[in-house]
Amino acid sequence: MENQILIDLEKKYTRPSADFLADLKNIDGDFVFLGIGGKMGPSMAKLLIDGLNELGLPRKVYGVSRFSDKTGRQYLESIGVETIACDLLDDAALQQLPEVKNVIYLAGFKFGAVGKEDFTWAMNTYLPGRVADKFKNSRIVALSSGNVLPFVPVTSAGVDEEITPEPIGEYAQSTLGRERIFTYFSKLNNTPTLLYRLNYAVDFRYGVIREIAKQVYNEQPIDLTSNNVNVIWQHDANEIAIRSLLHTEAPARVLNVTGPEILSIKWLAEKLAQGLGKEVSFVNEPENTALLNNAAACHRLFGFPKVGILEIIDITVRWILNDGSEFGKETHFQERKGKF
């Protein structure tokens, strides 16, 4: 059982914002999360249900996954999600899913893609076409990844939505395939769609900041080869994903989603070390390029994230010092050759 400090932290940093509630009022219809069992799905569903309850809006929220984790399914049902066990690659099962106005597409395959290239392409490129056809009368927000973008100089402002993708490796290539397939069906069926390119959501239990903090806490040297990164607090990313249902377009719109800063790993490690009361050491020289996402268009639509980087550092330090749990899933943000 997590202590009261951790419970209070999670409650404070996951409640719906006023901006979120204002937009949620204007999203008509029921909701479905496809691939709800991943890292973001449960917290995004809880945010939505908390918001609907606060506004007194009686909407159905479906959560679709294989649900190999029974505990995860029980949690979702306890907060009000109507769960549906479904292998989305089973087309007969996919077609039996309820028709829903609002679709949040979270399904995908990344870690373990090396050696399972066929499954990676089936999940990331073939399946989106089947989903887009099934839900052609819905509005769709489909999560994508900044991995589809090229590495750029760290002195740049990052890559905006106008830059041509240059994915490295089969995971990133198949993720660009996801975007292209959703765009095709958006044009074909006039389906309002938004492709949500995320660069690195961070949370209490996982993410770039948590990984660096854990290394610092364990007095492991920090690799500076990939010394620059963007991050966004996951709750802010969740709010943007749901609010994006109001900004879907046909043909599909692309939106970069991350925080406003290009952050230095060295600076992050030093700040975390101060909070954790640890010494920090570094190895390797920084490369002069990185995978960097420019989210200026996102900030123009939704404003800056509510939780800034110094607060994220503070949250992470407090979580670790109070023995908070972790998912144990690394982001591999240092990967430069696309091998996941």
pTM: 0.95
Instruction: Please state the rounded mean pLDDT for residues 55-71.
Output: 94
Answer whether residue 266 shows pLDDT above 80: yes
Tokens coding 280: 């920090």
**Digit-coded pLDDT (tens) for 138-178:** 999 999 999 999 999 999 999 999 999 999 999 999 999 99
**Which residues is 223 bridged to in the sheet?**
283
Instruction: Please state the rounded mean pLDDT for residues 38-46.
Output: 95
Instruction: Please state the rounded mean pLDDT for residues 307-331.
Output: 91
Instruction: Please state the rounded mean pLDDT for residues 35-44.
Output: 94
Phi, psi of 204 (to 5 degrees): -55, -40
Q: pLDDT value at position 288?
A: 95
**Digit-coded pLDDT (tens) for 127-146:** 999 999 999 999 999 999 99
Check residues 290 and 329 and name the one with the higher pLDDT.
Answer: 290
Residues 6+ apart with CB under 8 A from 310: 271
Instruction: Please state the rounded mean pLDDT for residues 26-47.
Output: 96
Instruction: Report the range of poorest mean pLDDT among 33-47, 104-118, 226-240.
Output: 104-118
Answer whether residue 55 shows pLDDT above 90: yes
Report in angstroms the alpha-carbon separations of 71 from 60, 63, 223, 314.
Answer: 21, 14, 36, 30
What does the angle CA 188 – CA 176 – CA 72 come to, to the nearest 5 degrees?
A: 95
The rounded distance, in Å, linking the Cα atoms of 104 and 63 is: 10
Q: pLDDT value at position 340?
A: 66
Q: pLDDT value at position 331?
A: 74
**Digit-coded pLDDT (tens) for 194-246:** 999 999 999 999 999 999 999 999 999 999 999 999 999 999 999 999 999 99
Percent of the chain with pLDDT over 70: 98
Q: pLDDT value at position 113?
A: 67
CB 229 within 8 A of CB 208: yes
Instruction: Please state the rounded mean pLDDT for residues 291-318.
Output: 97
Confidence of residue 336 (pLDDT cuts 50, 70, 90): confident
Answer whether residue 69 shows pLDDT above 90: no
- Residue spans of the domains in the chain: they are 4-201+232-259+293-302
Q: pLDDT value at position 2?
A: 62
DSSP per-residue codes, 37-98: TSSSHHHHHHHHHHHHHHHT----EEEEE----HHHHHHHHHTT-EEEE--TT-HHHHHTSP
Instruction: Please state the rounded mean pLDDT for residues 13-27.
Output: 97
User: Of the CATH numbers 3.40.50.720, 3.40.50.1820, 1.10.1670.10, 2.40.50.140, which one belongs to the domain with range 4-201+232-259+293-302?
Assistant: 3.40.50.720
- Nearest Cα residue to 135 out of 164, 104, 171: 104
Answer whether residue 118 shows pLDDT above 90: yes
**Which residues is 317 bridged to in the sheet?**
none
Q: pLDDT value at position 32?
A: 98
Q: pLDDT value at position 1?
A: 47
